[in-house]
Amino acid sequence: MRKCVLADKNALLAAMAAVSRLYVPVDGADKQAVFSEWKDGAVLSGKLNTNRSAKDFFFPQTENMMTFKMSGKKLEIFDTRREHEDFILFGVRACDVRSFTVLDNVFLSEPVDTYYANRRAHGTVVSLACNKPAETCFCRTFDIDAADPEGDVVCWEDSENIYLTAKTEKGEKLLAALENVTEACGDDAADGVKTLVNERLGKLPLAELKADKFGGGKTDAFFNDPAWDSLSEACIGCGTCTFVCSTCQCYDIKDFDTGHGIHRFRCWDSCMYSDFTMMAHGTNRPNHMQRFRQRFMHKLVYYPENNNGLFSCVGCGRCLSRCPISMNIVKVMKTLGGKEDA
């Protein structure tokens, strides 16, 4: 483990930026925290989490996949990918780091999504423990440790220092490049921070929320539950929850004719929209309740059934704080999981 005096944090970030392009959380024009390229003297956001998650760096909201040109019967295909540059993400919270594992299981399974895989290969994740978790946080429900996150390099901060330790080969390479702005310290140097964070996590309103009633093999137990009707009635289907979610992976592919060629784009989509997966015959989920049910069954039942028990929710709390009518996964879990036969 190594440490850097907190007053020298700018020098630490400058050293990281000298290794690769560096992105850090800052407050945007709308006062929301966003990841932005680091510039000397940039003021890091004091907010717990960014407005949108760091998944944008690996699975962008919109990306140009390729370009086509037709000349008579001749078809030319141009590879437009540019995701070949190394970069560093600093300040990623434990929940968002776990979301990368959820996405990996989708995009790195056969057939591998090479767009996503290239970005993952070039990205180094520097996570930061949550000193002050929010009341909407419930990452512990899904066995995520906000006091000791995953990541290539993991950081902790106290009132004097920032502590860093490498967890992967990428992390070791980065930490080696930071030796001039850090100094060695004992592996237990951050234990005080971990203890404090765990104490705060235990006092959160959702600290006792459990997911043990959910998981693979529970489709029959929950699919036809009449509670879906009442739960979905409040939902307005705006899709906000899916767009702030760090693990949602639905997308659509569209072609745009420029007059000089066809651009093929991939764009985020939402299972909450009535035209999601719309085909000539219509859609396989024609009513709102079915779409609402699909979202939460996927998070709590379908995904863990196909991924060794791993849930497709990381408890980041974004959907709790952003939903305009306060309908979220916690209410679904408490309603369905609170029944004796669940």
Does any domain span residue 208? no
User: What does the alpha-carbon distance between residue 10 and residue 99 come to, in Å, rounded to a whole number?
Assistant: 28
Whether pLDDT at 253 is above 60: yes
Residue 79 pLDDT? 82
- Same domain for 232 and 144? no
The whole-number pLDDT of residue 194 equals 95
Residues 280, 323 within the same domain: yes
Report the amino acid identity of residue 112.
V
Q: Pick the range with the lowest mean pLDDT from 65-79, 121-135, 268-282, 324-338.
A: 268-282
Of 71, 51, 55, the C-alpha closest to 63 is 55
Q: Are residues 53 and 113 in the same domain?
A: yes
- How high is the pLDDT of residue 278? 67
Domain count along the chain: 2
Gap between the Cα atoms of 257 and 67, Å rounded: 10
Residue 182's domain spans which residues? 2-201
Same domain, 116 and 261: no
Distance CA 255, CA 269 (A): 15
Whole-number pLDDT of residue 41: 85
Q: Are residues 161 and 46 in the same domain?
A: yes
The answer on 280 and 142 residing in a single domain is no
pLDDT tens for 283-330 read 677 788 999 999 999 999 999 999 999 999 999 999 999 999 999 999
Q: Is the separation of the CB atoms in 81 and 118 below 8 Å?
A: yes
Q: Please indicate, yes or no, if residue 213 is contained in any of the structural domains.
A: no
> Per-residue pLDDT for 269 more than 80?
yes
Are 236 and 175 contained in the same domain?
no
Same domain, 20 and 49: yes
Task: Give the per-residue pLDDT at 54.
Answer: 94
Q: Is residue 207 part of a domain?
A: no
Q: What is the pLDDT of residues 91-145, one digit of tens each?
A: 999 999 999 999 999 999 999 999 999 999 999 999 999 999 999 999 999 999 9
Of the residues 201, 234, 261, the one at which a domain ends: 201
**Does one domain contain both 162 and 80?**
yes
**According to the model, what pLDDT value does residue 341 have?**
47
Per-residue pLDDT band for 342 (boundaries 50, 70, 90) equals very low
Look at residue 276 in the predicted model and tell me its pLDDT.
Answer: 76
* Predicted local distance difference test score (pLDDT) of residue 283: 65
For residue 142, what are the CA distances in angstroms to 10, 56, 300, 310? 34, 22, 10, 8
Model pTM score: 0.91
Domain edge (last residue) among 201, 235, 261: 201
Confidence of residue 281 (pLDDT cuts 50, 70, 90): low
Q: What is the pLDDT of residue 339?
A: 60
Q: In terms of domains, do 42 and 150 share one?
A: yes
Confidence check: pLDDT of 275 > 90: no
Q: Which residues pair with 64 in a beta bridge?
A: 265
